[in-house]
Structure 1
Amino acid sequence: MNRRAFLAGVVGATSVTLAGCSSVLNMGSESRSMGGDFDIGTSSMDFHPEKFTATVGDTVVWKNTGMRQHTVTAYENLIPDDTEYFASGGFDSEQAARDGWNNGKGGILQGRTYEHTFEVPGEYPYLCIPHESRGMVGTIVVKEK
């Protein structure tokens, strides 16, 4: 096979595949920074953006813009001490959220949202329980007004 023809075919197929992925991942949704209704979206294995900056008193909205079910679950031992724990499903601890996921609770379905208001400045690392092992983690950085 002609090497140039092969490479042209691979590049063309890759471009078409990636174009299709971006439209599936976006699903017509736009973040607030683009005039939409959420701050952080999801793909199959990522939060977008992975790091988000908010101000004390801001409500951050996550939206499942992917096709798989996801969770938003704070790493309990890594969030500021005097803050309220947060997890989709309303759980009051990381272990309760993990147990809840194992019992079919706490997931955010495609197109649905989860929101949390941050009242204490600091860094808030969080994860998606079913995709944590594949690196689906994020961080909210909350700054003073």
Structure 2
Amino acid sequence: MERRAYLRAVGAVTVAGLAGCIGTSGTSAEYDVGMSARAFRPETIEVAPGTEVVWRNTSKQGHSVTAYESGLPEGADYWASGGFDDEESAREAWGAGDGGTLFEGQSYSHTFEIRGEYPYFCIPHERGGMVGTVVVTDDPSTTTG
């Protein structure tokens, strides 16, 4: 009988331990948007006003998270990894090696207050199509990839 009790206990612990490894939809509690070698995952994310979105570089490539300034909703503040005040400064700094780079495992976050669409890109991979969109809405749905 002791052997059976032991096996039941070990089995329950094993199942509980594996539960966290099974069935996630590619999202993480630590970040909202991951960065692969040439893409944001998911490419589009919908959030409610006042939500902080966290990007994490999940690849070995250096990346940036840079808003397209001309595409921001009226009244929205500019944002970019590296804390730049505008898109031109972010691009110049990247070219000069002066900041904005997120290396593997590093994160950047921004809180979105104003409703609308916020297009953004990765400076070194923009030509390869590494772009994304944050949609701020009162009725956010699931993210899309």
TM score, norm. by length of structure 1: 0.76
Correspondence for 2:66 among 70, 73, 78 = 73
Q: Residue 44 and residue 35 in structure 1: after superposition, are their counterparts in 2 closer, same or farther (change >3 A)?
A: closer
Residue 95 of structure 1 aligns to a residue in which SS?
helix
After superposition, the Cα gap between the structure-2 partners of 1:126 and 1:71, relative to the gap in structure 1 and judged at 3 Å, is same
Q: CA RMSD in A?
A: 1.9
Deviation at 1:34, TM superposition (A): 4.2
2:103 corresponds to 1:114: no
Distance 1:34 1:137, change over 3 A: closer
CA deviations over 1:51-79 (Å, ceiling 9, x no partner): 00111000000000011000000000001
Poorly superposed stretches of 4+, deviation over 3 Å: 31-35
Structure with higher RCO (Cα < 8 A, 6+ apart): 2
Is 1:135 paired with 2:129? yes
CA distance in 1, matches of 2:123, 2:136: 22
Specify every segment of 5 or more residues in structure 1 that has no aligned partner in the other structure, as ranges.
Answer: 1-27
Whether the aligned pair in 2 keeps the contact of 1:32 and 1:38 (CA below 8 Å) is no
CA contact (8 A) 1:45 1:131 kept: yes
Residue 103 of structure 1 and its aligned partner are, at CA, apart by 1.6
Number of aligned residue pairs: 116
Deviations 1:6-62 (A, max 9, x none): xxxxxxxxxxxxxxxxxxxxxx9xx99745300000110000000001110000000
CA distance in 1, matches of 2:61, 2:27: 23
Structure 2 unaligned spans of 5+? 1-20, 140-145
TM-score, reference length from structure 2: 0.76
Give the match for residue 48 of structure 1: 41
Tell me the equivalent position of 1:8.
Answer: none
- State the secondary structure of the residue aligned to 1:133: coil
Distance 1:34 1:85 in 2: 26
Structure 2 Cα separation of the partners of residues 51 and 130 of structure 1 = 19
Instruction: Summarize the alignment of residues 1-145 of structure 1 with structure 2, pairs less than 5 Å apart.
Output: 34-104=27-97, 105-144=99-138
How many Å separate the matches in 1 of 2:51 and 2:85? Answer: 20
State the identity %. Answer: 47
Residue 140 of structure 1 aligns to a residue whose secondary structure is strand
